[in-house]
Structure 1
Amino acid sequence: MLAVKRLATGDIAAFRAMNALFAEVFAMEREYLGAPPDDTYVARWLADPRNIAIVAESRGETIGALAGYKWPKFEQARSELYIYDLAVRESDRRRGIATALIEEMRRIAREVGAWTVIVQADVFEEDEPARALYRKYAFEEIMAHHFDIRP
């Protein structure tokens, strides 16, 4: 049975399972597991209502996860939710798990009065299934580049 839930302050073990899943699915162990934050940091991060962590669990393990943020806007008195990372373990794909994670993000967006949920997707061929999923929900698709700028 699939359970989808938003993590709260005390869900430190589930937060760590989420990061382990991202490390596995994205093949980015150094980024997600190389310097893990301590429990105090994780509890503070989870307690901040602008931070969103959603996990999908089945058979007692985390098989999907979504991490995102609520961004208060400056041009109007409104907010948007941003999906930063979304992953489903390869062996569990094509079972509606990513859809369930997005639906939970949409529910949270309605709950907090956000005007939209945004997500970026890489343009690599192997990411086409993710883009196809996002297109099912999108009212607009904008082609853009993402630039990482060193501080």
Structure 2
Amino acid sequence: MVEVRRLVPGDLAGFRVMNALFSDVFEEPENYVDHPPGEANVLDWLANTTNIGVLGLVDGEPRGAIAAYILQKFEQQRSEVFIYDLAVLESHRRIGLATAMIEEVRRIAREASAWTVFVQADVFPEDEPARALYRSLAQSEITALHFDIEP
């Protein structure tokens, strides 16, 4: 059975599970679990209502996760939600888990009166299944380039 659960303030264990899922699915332990944030940092992140963490569960076990952010806009009195990371274990794909997690983010976005939810997708051939999912849920698709600028 597919379920979703939003992380709540104080859910340190859920946060650690979320990061472990990202590490496993993206095969990037150096970015998620090798140097984890300290407990105070995690508790601050979880307490911030503009941060969204969602776990996707299958038969009660975490098998997917989303990290997203509610962004307050400057050009109008409105906000939007950015899905920053979305991961589902390969063994649990194509069962509706990612869609259920996105639906939870959409619910949270409506509660926050956000005008849109957006996600960026890589253009690598292996990411086509993710892009197909996003296309199936999207009202529009915009091609953009992403640039990392060193601080």
1:61 and 2:40 aligned: no
Q: Which amino acid aligns with 1:149?
A: I
Determine if contact 2:3/2:100 at 8 Å carries over to the other structure.
no
Q: CA deviation at 1:139?
A: 1.2
Q: Which amino acid aligns with 1:16?
A: R
Q: Any stretches of 5+ residues in structure 1 without a counterpart?
A: none
CA distance in 2, matches of 1:64, 1:78: 29
Alignment correspondent of 1:143? 143
Q: Deviations over 1:27-85 (max 9, x none)?
A: 10101112101111111100101100000123443101000100000111100000000
Q: Deviations over 1:85-120 (max 9, x none)?
A: 000000011100000000000000111100000000
**SS of the counterpart of 2:53?**
strand
**SS of the counterpart of 1:44?**
helix
**SS of the counterpart of 1:115?**
strand
Alignment correspondent of 1:13? 13
CA distance in 2, matches of 1:59, 1:29: 26
Q: Which amino acid aligns with 1:18?
A: M
1:38-77 to 2 correspondences below 5 Å: 38-77=38-77
Alignment correspondent of 2:97? 97
Q: Any stretches of 5+ residues in structure 2 without a counterpart?
A: none
Instruction: Give me the CA root mean square deviation.
Output: 0.9
Alignment correspondent of 2:118? 118
Q: Which amino acid aligns with 1:69?
A: Y
CA distance in 1, matches of 2:17, 2:25: 12
* TM-score calculated relative to the size of structure 1: 0.97
Percent pairwise identity: 60
Determine if contact 2:22/2:87 at 8 Å carries over to the other structure.
yes
CA distance in 2, matches of 1:58, 1:91: 11
CA distance in 1, matches of 2:93, 2:36: 27
Determine if contact 2:2/2:96 at 8 Å carries over to the other structure.
no
Alignment correspondent of 2:4? 4
